[in-house]
Chain A
Amino acid sequence: MSTPETIDEVRALTEADYKFGFVTELDQEIIPKGLNEDVVRLISAKKNEPAWMLDWRLESYAKWLGMQGEDPTWAKISHPPIDFQDIRYYAAPKSEDDGPKSLDEIDPEILATYEKLGIPLKEQEVLSGVAVDAVFDSVSVATTYKAKLAELGVIFCPFSEAVAEHPELVRKYLGAVVPQGDNFYACLNSAVFSDGSFVFIPEGVRCPMELSTYFRINAAETGQFERTLIIAAPGSYVSYLEGCTAPMRDKNQLHAAVVELIALEDAEIKYSTIQNWYPGDAEGVGGIYNFVTKRGACRGRNAKISWTQVETGAAITWKYPSVLLEAEGAVGEFYSVAVTNNYQQADTGTKMIHLAPNTTSTIISKGISAGRSQNTYRGLVRINPKAHNARNYTQCDSLLIGEECGGHTVPYIQVRNRSARVEHEASASKISDDQMFYCQSRGLGAEDAVSLIVNGFCKEVMKQLPMEFAVEAQKLLGISLEGSVG
C-alpha cells in the first residue's frame, strides 16, 4: 500500500492544505480568558464562519447562560467548581507565511510528541490505509489521503472546513442528535466549539480505510471543545478511530467535546476511541476533566452504530456514548474498558434507547480500578412502548486492584414493552491470588502478571478494536496500571 506515489501524494496534500506552519517555538495565537458573547463572536470570526454558524453559536451561548447552575452533579465524581471565566476558549497554532516544504520542516517538538504518542507523522505517511487528521489544539494541521477518499465521494475534513465547503450538510445534521441545549457541557461546546472532524460517507460506499483523528491538548489552560459529526448515508460503512493524549500540565484542563453520529438505512458506523488524556500525577494533582457528550442515532432501518472505547486517561471522565435506535432493526453496541489508577475518577457508561421494533443492543463494560481511584459504570437501557421484540444484553464487570479503590455499577433498566428481552449481568471482584500465583510461578513479574490478567479480563472489548489500535491499547493498559501492585 505504501507506494512512493502515495507518499508523494500525501506530501503534496499536506503541503497544499497546510495553512498553519510551525517554527521551532510553539507560538500560540490565543485570546484572553473568559467567556462572553464577544468571545463567541471572536471565535466565529477567527474561523471565518458564515452568519448562520455564528447565529447557531450565539443561540447556544444564550441557552448555556440560561443553564447556569445546571451542570450535572449526579455522577459519582467530585471536583472543585469550574470557573468558566478562567478558561481560554480559543488557541490556534500561530500561522506563518510560508508553510513547510515537507514534513522535515515541521517542528521537531511536535514530531517528538507524536512519536511519544506512537503516531509519528512520518510513519503515518507510510502506514497504509490510515488517513490522519491531526487536531493540534484547536486547528487541524494535517490531513492525508484526502484525494483517495474524495474519489469515492467521502468527505473527511476538519469541521471548520466542512462549515465553509459543505454548509448544506452541516446545517442539516449539526445538533440533530445532540441538540444545543442537551446538557450543560454540550451546550457550552455548541457555543465555543473549536474544531473537530466532519465525515460524510455517500450512499453505498464502504470507506476503504480506517479514518483516524488524534486530538491533543497542548497549550496550558486551554479548554478544548471538539465537535465531531459523522454521517453515514444509506448502505455505507465507516470505521472511525479517535485517540488522544495530553502532555503534562499542572492545572486541570476542561475538555468538553460533542460527537454526533448519524447512520441512515443499512449504514454502519464503528467509532473507536482510545482516551489517554493526562490523568494527573500520582498525588492526584492536575489532569484533564473529560466531560464528553457522544451520541449516535440509527435513523434508518437496520442501521448500526458501535462504540468501542478504551479509557485510561483523564483525571475525571464523564462520558456516556449512547445510541438512539430509532428505526426498525437498528443495532447499537457499546464496548468499553475504563481503567483508573491513583486518584482518577471515571463515571462512564452508555444509553441504549430502543424506540423501534426488532432493535437490539449489546453492552459490554469492563471497569478496572486501582490505587485510590473511583470507577463507575452508569448505563441506561430503555425499551419504549413501540419497540416490539427489542433485545438487550448487558454485561458489566469490575476488577478491583488494591483496597483503597472503588468500583461501582449503576444500571438503569426501563422496560415499557412486554415483548422485549432485557438481560443485565454484573460482577465485581479482585484479581485472585490463584491467578497471580499461577502467572508468577511461571516467571512473570507481578506487574506483567497483572497486565496479562487485565488484558484477559478486557479481551472481549479489545477484540472489537481495529488492529491499529489494539496493540497500542494493550500497552496502554499495562502502562496505566504501573505502580498499582507490589
Chain B
Amino acid sequence: MTATTTDYATTGDAHLQAFGRLAPGLPGRGIDWLDTLRRDAFQRFKDAGMPHRGLEAWKFTGLNVLAKHAFSPVPEAEAAAEADARSDFGPGEHAAKLVFVDGRFHVGLSRRPTLAKGITISTLAAALTETPGLMEGQFSAANGAAGALWDLNAAFMADGAVVRLDPGAKLDKPISLVFLSSGAKHGAHHVRNLVTLGAGAEAKVIETYGEPSGARAAAFSNAVTDVALGEGATLTHVRVQDLGPSAVHTARAVVKIAKGAHYGSFALAIGAALSRQETDATFTGPDGVARLFGAYLGRRRQHLDHTTRVDHAHPRCRTEELFKGVLDGRAHGVFQGLVRVAPKAIGTDARQKNQALLLSDRASADTKPELEILADDVKCTHGATVSDLDADGLFYLMARGLSEAEARRLLIAGFIGDVIDRFDHGAVARHLTACVARWQDRDEGGFDD
C-alpha cells in the first residue's frame, strides 16, 4: 500500500512522478479547459520546483521537510480504506457539514440537509461531473515561482467543497468543511474549495484541518480555497488548522471582493509541525471591505506562518488586519502582510497590525508588514510588536492569588481573545475561543521540548 512512499527522494519528485499515473483518475478528466489548466500548472511546477528561502515570499519559511520526506499524492482507493476517522472537528452548530478524508469527500461522515433555495453545497468531483459549465473560470491560477504550491494544487486537486449562493441568498449557520488526514504514511492531498456568493448573499464557512489522534505518520495537506464575492455579498471565512504534531500544511485563500462586498476572515493555527496559511485578497470593485484576522499559537518546534496580501485595485476600499501570535518552546512564528494600493485607488483605508508574544528563550518571531502605495489620497498604517508576556500583568494576577500557570493562561487567553473579539461575537467566536482553550489544555501536559 505504501510502496510509493520511499521511491522518491523528495515530495517534489514524488509529485513529478505521480502526475502521469494519477492524472487520468483525477476528476474532470476530459474537460478541455481543465486538462489544460492542470497541465499548465504541472508544467509551471516542474519548471519552478518547490518554493525555497531564496524567494522573497519564502524568506522566513523553508520547506526542507518536504525534501526530507517524499509525500506522495494519495490514490483514491487508499484514501477510502483509511476513512475510519473521527469526525468531531469543526463547530458543533452548523447548517451543513462536509467531511473530506485525505482530500476526498466522505459521505458517511458528512451531513447535507436540504438547504433553502439558491444555496448549493456540493463537492468538486461531483460539480465537475454534473455542472462542468458552471465551473469554468472559477479556478485561480498561480503567477510566479512563489506560487509553486498553488500550481501543485491545481495539477493534483482531487476534491473539495463547492459552496454557491445565488444572489440574495442568506445562510445564518455556518457551513462546516472538515479536512482530515487519515494517517496514510506520508500522504499528500490537495483539496480545492470554491466559495461563490452572488450579489447580496451572506454566508459563513468554517474550514477545519485536523488529524485523528491515531494518525500514524505525517501528512502533507496543500489546500486552496477560491472565494468570489458578488456585489454587496458578505462572507465570514474561518480556517482552523489543528493538525497533528508532524503534519505539514500549506493553505491559500484566493479572494475576489466585488463592489461593496465584505470579506471577513480568521485564520487560526494551533497544530502541525509546519504550517503556512496565505490569504490573497483583491478588490475587484470600489467600496469593498476586507477584515483579515488571525492567531497562531505554537510550541515545541512548530513553525507557523501567516502570509497575507491585499490588493487595493479600486477606490475607497478598506482593509483591517490583525494577527496575534503566542510562541512557546522553540516555536517560530512568521507574519508577512503586504498591502498594495494601486494607482488611482484613492480613498483607500488600510490598517495592519501584528503582535507576537515570546514565552520562552528559544521561541522566535519574524514579522514583515509591508506597504506598497502608488496613490496619494490614502490612509495606511501598520504596526508590529514583539515582546514577552507583560510582567506587570503577571504580578497583578499572582498578587491576587492566581498561580503563575493560571495567570499566564489567563493573560494568553486575553491576548488572543482580543483578536477573536474584534472579529465576531457569536457562535464563530465561541468556536474559536474553544479551539484556543484546547491548545492551552494541551499545554498542561508540560511538554516544552
B346–A407 touching, CB < 8 Å: no
How far is the CB of B440 from the nearest CB of chain A, in Å? 18
Query: Which of A381-440 touch B at CB < 8 Å?
Result: 383, 385, 398, 400-430
C-alpha gap A419/B378 in the complex (Å): 36
| Complex Cα gap A54–B28 (Å) | 69
Chain A residue at minimum C-beta to C-beta distance from B363: A418
A398 to B375 alpha-carbon distance, docked (Å)? 12
Complex: A125 Cα to B380 Cα, angstroms: 48
Partner of A416 from the list B364, B377, B378, B385 (CB cut-off 8 Å) is B364
**Structural contact, A415 and B371, CB atoms closer than 8 A:** no
Min CB distance B441 to A, Å, is: 23
Find out whether the CB atom of B368 lies under 8 angstroms from the CB atom of A412.
yes
When distances are taken between beta carbons in the complex, the residues of chain A under 8 Å from B56 are 74
Which residues from B are CB-within-8-Å of A402? 376
Taking a contact as CB atoms under 8 Å apart, the answer to whether A426 and B383 are in contact is yes
Check A430 against B378 for contact (C-beta < 8 Å): yes
Most chain B C-beta atoms within 10 Å of own C-beta, residue among A383, A408, A421: A408
8 Å CB contacts to B: which residues of A426-467? 426-430
CB distance from A371 to the nearest CB of B (A): 11
Q: A409, B384: Cβ atoms under 8 Å? A: no
Contact flags (1/0) for B362-400 with A, using CB distance below 8 Å? 111111111111111111111111111000000000000
Q: Which of A403, A419, A427 interacts with B377 by CB under 8 Å?
A: A403
A157 vs B356: C-alpha distance when bound (angstroms):
48
- Main secondary structure, interface of A, reads strand
- Complex Cα distance, B349 from A429, in Å, reads 10
- Does A400 contact B376, Cβ atoms closer than 8 Å? yes
| Count: A-B pairs, CB below 8 Å | 115
Docked-complex contact B381 and A406, CB < 8 angstroms: no
With CB as the reference atom, state the residue of chain A lying closest to B328: A418
- List of A residues within 8 angstroms of B380 by Cβ: 427-429
Is there an interface contact between A403 and B373, defined as CB atoms closer than 8 Å?
no
Chain B residues 153 to 185 lying within 8 A of chain A, measured CB to CB, are none
Q: Chain B binding site: helix, strand, loop or mixed by DSSP?
A: strand
Interface string of B314-356 (1 = CB under 8 A from A): 0000000000000000000000000000011010000000001
Q: Which of chain A's residues have a CB closer than 8 A to the CB of B368?
A: 410-413
Is B376 a contact of A418 with CB atoms below 8 Å? no
Nearest chain A CB to B382 CB, angstrom units: 5
In the bound complex, do residue A413 and residue B366 qualify as a contact, i.e. CB atoms below 8 Å apart? yes
B361 within 8 A of A: yes
A403 engages B358 (CB within 8 Å): no
Residues of A within 8 A of B377 (CB): 403, 430
Report the separation of the CA atoms of residues A422 and B335 in the bound assembly, to the nearest whole angstrom.
15
B272 touches A (CB below 8 Å):
no
B191 contacts A by Cβ under 8 Å: no
Contact (Cβ within 8 A) A398 B373: yes
Residue interface mask A108-136, B partner, CB < 8 A = 1? 00000000000000000000000000000
Distance between Cα atoms of A424 and B382 in the complex (Å) = 8
Known: A411-B384, A424-B383. A385 touches B371 (CB 8 A): no
Task: Name the contact of B384 in the complex, choosing from A401, A408, A413 (C-beta under 8 A).
Answer: A413
Q: Say yes or no for B359: interface residue by CB 8 A criterion.
A: yes
Interface pair A414/B366, CB less than 8 Å apart: yes
Partner of B358, one of A409, A413, A415, A424: A415
Assess the B364–A415 pair: CB atoms within 8 A.
yes
B373 touches A418 (CB 8 A): no
Q: Is B110 engaged at the interface, CB distance under 8 Å to the other chain? A: no
A426 touches B359 (CB 8 A): no
Contact: A414 with B376, CB < 8 Å?
A: no
Contact present for B367 and A413 (CB under 8 Å): yes
Contact B388 A426 (CB under 8 A): no
Assess whether A429 is in contact with B360, with CB atoms less than 8 Å apart.
no
Tell me the complex Cα distance, A238–B32, Å: 72
Answer whether A400 and B381 are a contact pair too, CB < 8 Å, given A385-B361, A413-B368, A415-B358: no
CA of A427 to CA of B381, assembled, Å: 4
Tell me which of A408, A412, A424, A430 contacts B366 (CB under 8 A).
Answer: A412
Partner of B361, one of A412, A413, A418: A418
Evaluate contact between A418 and B378: CB separation under 8 angstroms. Answer: no
Q: Which of B360, B364, B384 contacts A424 (CB 8 A)?
A: B384
> Which residue of chain A has the shortest Cβ distance to B59 in the bound complex?
A412
How long is the Cα–Cα vector from A141 to B364 in the complex, in angstroms?
52
Bound Cα distance from A132 to B273, whole angstroms: 60
Asked, given contacts A408-B372, A416-B364, A417-B358, whether A400 binds B385 with beta carbons under 8 Å apart, the answer is no
Chain A residue numbers with a CB within 8 Å of B386 are 383, 413, 415, 420-422
- Per-residue contact bits, chain A 56-86, to B (CB 8 Å; 1 contact, 0 not): 0000000000000000001000000000000
Q: How far does the alpha carbon of A402 sit from the alpha carbon of B356 in the complex, in Å? A: 36
Known pairs A410-B368, A411-B368, A418-B358; list 8 more (Cβ under 8 Å): A385-B361, A408-B372, A416-B364, A421-B386, A422-B386, A423-B385, A428-B373, A430-B376
The 10 closest A-B pairs by CB, nearest first: A418-B358, A400-B376, A430-B376, A413-B367, A415-B386, A424-B384, A409-B371, A428-B380, A427-B381, A422-B386
- The interface of chain A, by Cβ under 8 A from chain B, is 74, 383, 385, 398, 400-430
What are 13 A-to-B residue pairs whose CB atoms are below 8 Å? A74-B56, A404-B343, A408-B370, A413-B365, A413-B366, A413-B367, A418-B358, A423-B383, A425-B381, A425-B383, A426-B381, A427-B381, A429-B380
